[in-house]
Amino acid sequence: MGRSLSLRELAAQLDAEVRGDALYTLSGVASLAHAGPTHLSFVLAPKYLSESLASRAGALVTDAALAERLAGRNCLVVARPHVQFAKAIDLFHPEPPTTPGVHPTAAVHPDAMLEADVAIGPQATVGAGARIGARSRIGPGSWIGEDVEMGEDCRLYGRVSLYPGCRLGHRVMLHAGCVIGADGFGLAWDGDHWRKVSQVGRVIVGDDVEIGANTTVDRGALDDTVIEEGVKLDNLIQVAHNVRIGAHTAIAGCVGIAGSTRIGSHCQIGGAAMIIGHLEIADRVVISAGTFVAKDIRDAGTYTSVQPLMPHAEWKRNAALLRHLDDMHGRLKTLERRVNDLDQQMD
């Protein structure tokens, strides 16, 4: 972005201690492997020490213990290197300014309410009764349905769909193609065909939520689907109707969450995990990538069910054994009973 900052200036913004030349000037950020003398990079753990020493980075964000082992390098010493480096990225790459106003190709219903400094992009649509908070930005081709309420400083990228009646808090970020408030998968079997069950709930999204590209959050069947404050959802996630996700939970890509499941706060769910419906997951649960969750998780901790990668021939042998596991279990129980009978006879 053409912006230059000295280590002294960065330290003031990041609440950091400078080790080295405080007047050294940087113009950007980069990874350890690709950084040059004008770049800032970061070090999180001792296992990256050798890579850090070999890096051409002009300065490193790190903690006090690692800084001692990086003697001779310019360092910004902080308590939480990853968090402070994230702040540094924003200093070098600030959000480009947005010009408030409604693009000539956008369609805004006369009954919609736009607060101060709202920006509506090309070919976006804002329905009747919608209310858009101050300084919010609506990307090109996005659809804001009737009676949607959106807080201040929200950012919607291109082709986001917000179905009627949904609610967004402040500072919500919705990436391209995500759909909030589509009908949940509600069907009733009528003897020879499926009958649609109308979904009349809403989606309620709290403050500071970020939802990734092409992620879908279904509206509730009767009650609301709720995404609490600070939740971070990656791309390509399916959140079914009546799900509730607790505050500050982070969920990686391709996760599927079936209806009416309640996920606690401060949870972490790895990519491609599958969670069936009507479950309760406690606060501060970590679910590993690829895990299939089929029952309640009532205690904090880490849970994993994925089978490790193995050579295909070995997998086939194990799969063949697995097919006979029930039979082998029955035979083992029979042998145990016979051994117990013999023991009793000998006694």
Read off the pLDDT of residues 185-208 as tens digits, 9 standing for 90 and up.
Answer: 999 999 999 999 999 999 999 999
Cα–Cα distance measured from residue 323 to residue 316, given in angstroms and rounded to the nearest whole number = 11
Centroid of chain to Cα 48: 26
Of 264, 248, 249, 260, nearest to 298 by C-alpha is: 264
Distances (CA, A) of 83 to 56, 140, 179, 252, 328: 22, 31, 29, 19, 52
CA dihedral for 163, 164, 165, 169, sign (positive or negative): positive
Residues 175-191 pLDDT 10s: 999 999 999 999 999 99
Residue 239 contacts residue 216 (beta carbons within 8 Å): yes
Residues 6+ apart with CB under 8 A from 195: 187, 188, 189
**In 71-104, which positions are buried (b, 16+ CB within 10 angstroms) versus exposed (e)?**
eebbbbbbeebeebbebbeebbeeeeeeeeebbe
The dotted CATH code for 101-303 is 2.160.10.10
Residue 147 contacts residue 129 (beta carbons within 8 Å): yes
Cα–Cα distance measured from residue 286 to residue 276, given in angstroms and rounded to the nearest whole number = 16
Supply the pLDDT for residue 258: 98
Residue 279 contacts residue 242 (beta carbons within 8 Å): no
Tokens describing residue 328: 């082998």
The dotted CATH code for 5-92 is 3.40.1390.10
Strands 107-108 and 125-126: parallel
Centroid of chain to Cα 13: 27
Residues marked active site are found at 241
Strands 167-168 and 238-239: unpaired
Asked whether residue 341 carries a pLDDT value surpassing 90, the answer given is no
Tokens describing residue 189: 């079997």
Specify the residue for token string 């736009």: 114
Cα–Cα distance measured from residue 21 to residue 161, given in angstroms and rounded to the nearest whole number = 50
Residues 48-107 pLDDT 10s: 999 999 999 999 999 999 999 998 999 999 999 999 999 999 999 998 888 999 999 999
Average pLDDT, the chain: 95
Cα–Cα distance measured from residue 160 to residue 173, given in angstroms and rounded to the nearest whole number = 10
Supply the pLDDT for residue 5: 96
Average pLDDT over residues 155-173: 98
Asked whether residue 1 carries a pLDDT value surpassing 80, the answer given is no
Q: Where are the alpha helices (DSSP H) in the chain?
A: 7-14, 49-54, 64-68, 81-92, 312-323, 325-346
Residue 239: pLDDT band by 50, 70, 90 thresholds? very high
Cα–Cα distance measured from residue 98 to residue 34, given in angstroms and rounded to the nearest whole number = 31
Residue at 212: amino acid letter: G
Alpha-carbon torsion, ordered 309, 311, 312, 314, to 10 deg: -100
Residue 28: pLDDT band by 50, 70, 90 thresholds? very high
Asked whether residue 2 carries a pLDDT value surpassing 70, the answer given is no
Residue 12: pLDDT band by 50, 70, 90 thresholds? very high
Centroid of chain to Cα 202: 21
